Structure formats: C-alpha cells, structure tokens
Structure 1
Amino acid sequence: MFELNGRIALVSGAGQSVGEGIAKVLARQGASVIVNDLFADRADKVTAAIVEEGNRAVARAFDVTDLDATVESIRSAEAELGGHVDILVNNAGVAEGRVTKPFRELTPDQWAPSIDLNIYGAMNCIKAVIDGMCDSGWGRIVQISSGSARTGQNINVSMYATGKSGIEGFIRHLAAETGQYGVTANIVALGLQANLVDKMPPEVIEKLIASIPIGRLGDPIEIGAFCAYLASNEAAGMTGQTLDFNGGSQTR
C-alpha cells in the first residue's frame, strides 16, 4: 500500500528540514527522487543519504523562481532517470531573502522574496511537469502550505502568508482543471516548523510551542509519510483539498 515504485518525484527545497524528510520517505516508498535545493551542497547531501539507503535520487540545484532554469534542470533530471515527473511536491517556501518584521516596517522591495517563491516558484515547477502528467493520464501535485494562509497571526509572517494564500487558491483551480486527466492536486497546510521559526526569539518560540496540543514542532518524516499517501494510487479520489497537518493547532 502507498507504494511509489516506478514513479519519478520532484521535491523542491529538499536540501533540509521538511523537504529532506519528504524526499527520503518518497524514495523509501520506491520513487526515484529529484532533490532540488537552491544550494548544491544541500541537495548533494540529501541525495547521497538517499542513495546510501539503497534508493534512487539525483540532485539538481536551481532557483524555482527562474522558469528557464527550472525547466532545463527538470528535463536534465528526467533524461537521467529515464522518464517524466509523475509526482511534484512544491515544498520550497521559506525565501532566503525574507525579512520578518511587521508589515508597517517592511519596504516594498522586501515583499517580493516570499511572494515570488511561494507563488511563482510553485507555478514554475507545475508548468514544467503538468503536460507530462496529463498526457500520461496520471500525476500527483502536493503543495506544501501553512495554517498562516488562512489565519491571521501576530508573528511577523504576513508576506509568507500572502504567498501561501495565493498558491492555495491556484491549486484549487488547477485541481478542477486537471482531474479529468488523472492528475490530483492537494494542499498540505503545516503547523509550525523549525525552519520557519528559526529567526524568532526563544521566548516567542516557546510560547508558540506551548499553543500546540502535541507540544512540539512538526516532524519532517511524518510529513513525508503524509505526502507519500497523497502521491499514491490509493489517493486517486482526493483532489482540490486543503489538509491540515499541524499537531492539533487551530488554524481557522
């Protein structure tokens, strides 16, 4: 059950944290994984760990906000793996140039990194793989999002949340357009993760963790297991959904 043998999966932002967990689990379930990251050393490290476990993966370092680089890198990886991408997990979402301040203190040039990555970066990856999925009659798109997309929070993540809100709306429309071709598109809205709160003061992090019923931040392997289900044949009837994976936090 939930086997991904013979599938090719692309995981963006897979060089660390949640993306690393997702890439490793998909590989353990039988998929050949394209490990993307902005930084080559991170992508190489995760790829080496997957191969060491006896599974198949290739590393590709590219910026998903650059459409030409995204398409070129994916085509190169597909040629190496001998097929087209069947599974896309859009995980890249925490921009390198992000600034965590209240909106009133942000300048317009500080809005773009989070919005560009979460909206254009995700759409670029989808654009590069959607035709192959539809033409073959099978595909899985999993968009990693956040409870911040639907709940106002006073933790200085308004631009991150804006990007997530935008891509969630797009995915719902994409699911409606592509369901007839055997392609599903779902959203996994995560609770707090270590990579999102790493720039916050310790006392703020402690307060946030105390508000989570399970009393801890998200576990990348657990998230990977959930993505493996959504990427499987068994999840063929689920599309256009936003699924909360947040340790019991109230996100609405």
Structure 2
Amino acid sequence: MRAAKGEPEGRVVIFPHGGAGPNVLSPLLAGLPQEYDVLGVTLPGRERRFSEGFAETPANPAVVVNGIMEELARLPVRPTVFFAHSMGVAVAVAVALADPGLRARLVLSAHPPGGTKVQQAAEYDDETLLAIIEQGGGTPAEILENPFWREYVLGLLRSDLALAARLVRQNLTGRLSVPLTVLGGDRDELVKVEDLLPWEARTDAGARMRVFPGGHFYLLDEANRDAVANEIVLAAKR
C-alpha cells in the first residue's frame, strides 16, 4: 500500500473488516509515520483481487492463513505490527498463532476473542446482514440501493463472517505470546467494550486497552485517526 521513505523502521500489516479491502482504511493509515512500510491483506473478491471468486474462501481458512504467511516470508525481516479491525482480527490472530517466530505486535480493534454473536449464527440471511451493515455504518447508501452491488456486498460479507467464525474457533485453541493493544468505540452497537476485556487472558505478554468515542468505525472518525495511528506506532516499540 505504501513503501517507507528511506530505510524502514518497521512494517504495518493491515487486516481490514468484513466485506472490505485494506484501502478503505486509507484515511487512518495516512497518519502513520513515513518511516514505516504499510501493507494490506486483500482477500478474494475485492480491490486488486476483485475478479477472484470468494464463495469457497470460508471452506479453506488454512489457504488464507498460509497465503499471508508466504507473502510475509518473502519480505525482509523487520519489526512488524498487525493492525486488524473487526473481522480482520480473526485473520490476524490466526496468522500470529501460525507463525509465532514473526513476533508481530498485535493491535486488535472492535472484535472479541470469542468472535461476535453474528459470527456464531448458523446462517446469515439478507435481513441479518443488512442490520449488521446499518449498525456498523460505513457503507454508502447508494451501494445498497443498487441491486447488483447490494447482492455483491451481502455475499462478500456473508463469506467473511463464515471465515471469521471458523478462524475464531481455531484461534481459541492457541495462546499468544506477544503484547496486545486492544481498541474499541464506546458507542459500538456491534461490539461492546466489555466484550473486549477477555483479550487480556489470551496472551502471556500483557494487554493495553483504549476506548475511543464513536461507533464500530470510530477509527475512521477524523477526531480519532491520529490517536489510533499513534497506538499502532507505540505497539511497534513495545
């Protein structure tokens, strides 16, 4: 997404929320120091991988995790932070557990360690998915008013929720060994602040928690962006 200027001090890897690619978080990432490489995880069906099918992605979570690990293994060794929001947290934690030698610091936003109630559902009908989108905010109304894009976004979100649910169950069998930074919004209708507290028990290296004013996409609110970016930088130095 963005190469560092000069010799990089570290690397930030972005794991975006369900139904989205990493570029949607660009307003936040602009606040990261120029000394950091910024990379984005892009799953099938969005952004540069738009033409790739995503229906089978939930059935092959290991393919997702191994693919990310292989990409990271090709890069120079340097301090790394995983910044993950919402559904992206399940993916980031799965990669961290699969490759503990990377020692990537984790900044986990708006996602409980045991997943959300929505992810635990057996099926995700359109009504449920539209309610999630409405509660979370962040999706332009014109997208949902267009029949083609509405169907596409719902399908993508349905796939991502199923993938996250599988990864969460897998993640709960492991334990992290790196410090965590856990972030959330105080008015998030999808993930309550108290739902984030159990992260402290999921690592042997301690957890720092910070709550911001705002809803599920508090991190994109202009008033919060610089502070969230600073939390990512602080995590890199822990």
* Shorter-chain TM band: 0.3 to 0.5
Q: With structure 1 as the length reference, what TM-score do the two structures score?
A: 0.43
